[in-house]
């Protein structure tokens, strides 16, 4: 079994807390990922890449591909042109027993229609994609390279139930990383990051609610009880990550870039006009973030929520 295909969840368990690495975390959120695509395009426009490593989840991982390969608007095109296609999202196909969302098609079609400079992509900063192990319900983190990219990038976005073909590789089977770790900020801290920037897909006041149909989750995932438990714990895990962001350890600084409260894009929004609005909000937020860091906005601890 190739070393490159192993999850690296324990690689930095003994990392010195004084390493002060800078990490970029990008949350998923399906079509809500259009916000992060705008933020990252704003970063690219100013050649803003101050990070030592990045971790992405689901759509967040896909967004990072364009950023790390220095391919502006790639993610925008993937979301607005491919993710809105019936080849990707098809409720009729789902009713007939097929995939609601075909993430494998999306990944390969993205690479065909919007290819990136692979040399630049793989030589950029280390990049991990979070996946959820369907047996344990725990998160694994695969460092993306040329050997595992196809498997890991499909797995990180393989929504349970909605995508029927569970990706299996490296001795395990996996599903969407957002089930076990939607916002891997704790993982970034554990790997040595003490300056962490998080791009969220929900406004700052968002809190994830518990499942209203736990019996249905258990029934649909009866063959994988570990995954069912992870699904039912998802709101708790998500809200714990938010609590970590709001109250980080004393030796860490966490900066957050989040959509405004009037962000119009939902998980399954397909209207291009709304997606364009969400993208522009991301562009503006990315520019504001850089300006704030450069001191152009005159923000202080009192009026700078989460130290943006």
Residues noted as catalytic: 58, 176
Are residues 76 and 49 in contact, defined by beta-carbon separation less than 8 angstroms? no
* Token pair of 250 as six digits: 């004393």
Q: Going by DSSP bridges, is the β-strand pair 172-176/168-169 parallel, antiparallel, or unpaired?
A: antiparallel
Helix or strand (DSSP H, E) at 56: strand 53-57
Q: What is the pairing mode between strands 253-257 and 193-199?
A: parallel
Dihedral sign for Cα atoms in the order 124, 23, 209, 215: positive
Taking the C-alpha atoms of residue 66 and residue 118, their distance in angstroms, rounded to an integer, is: 11
Cβ contacts of 141 within 8 Å, gap of 6 or more:
7, 8, 9, 55, 128, 129, 130, 131, 184, 187
Cβ atoms 69, 124 nearer than 8 A:
yes
- 8 Å CB contact between 235 and 210: yes
């Amino acid at each position: 079994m190739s070393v490159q295909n192993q999850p690296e969840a324990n690689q930095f368990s003994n990392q010195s807390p004084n390493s002060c690495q800078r990490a970029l975390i990008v949350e998923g959120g399906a079509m809500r990922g259009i916000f992060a695509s705008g933020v990252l395009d704003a970063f690219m426009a100013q050649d803003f890449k101050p990070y030592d490593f990045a971790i992405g989840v689901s759509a967040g991982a896909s967004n990072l591909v364009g950023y790390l390969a220095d391919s502006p608007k790639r993610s925008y095109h993937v979301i607005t042109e491919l993710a809105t296609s019936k080849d990707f999202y098809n409720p009729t196909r789902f009713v007939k027993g097929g995939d609601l969302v075909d993430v494998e098609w999306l990944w390969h079609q993205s690479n065909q229609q919007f290819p990136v400079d692979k040399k630049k992509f793989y030589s950029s900063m280390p990049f991990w994609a979070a996946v959820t192990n369907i047996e344990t319900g725990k998160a694994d983190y695969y460092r993306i390279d040329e050997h595992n990219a196809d498997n890991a990038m499909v797995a990180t976005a393989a929504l349970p139930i909605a995508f029927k073909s569970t990706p299996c590789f490296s001795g395990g089977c996996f599903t969407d990383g957002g089930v076990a770790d939607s916002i891997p900020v704790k993982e970034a801290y554990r790997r040595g990051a003490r300056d962490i920037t998080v791009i969220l897909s929900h406004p700052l006041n968002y809190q994830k609610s518990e499942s209203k149909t736990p019996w249905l989750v258990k029934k649909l995932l009866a063959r994988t009880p570990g995954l069912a438990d992870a699904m039912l714990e998802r709101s708790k895990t998500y809200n714990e990550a938010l609590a970590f962001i709001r109250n980080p350890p004393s030796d860490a600084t966490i900066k957050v870039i989040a959509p405004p409260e009037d962000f119009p894009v939902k998980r399954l929004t397909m209207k291009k006009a709304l997606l364009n609005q969400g993208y522009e909000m991301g562009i503006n937020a990315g520019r504001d973030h850089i300006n704030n860091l450069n001191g152009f906005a005159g923000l202080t601890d009192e009026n700078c929520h989460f130290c943006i």
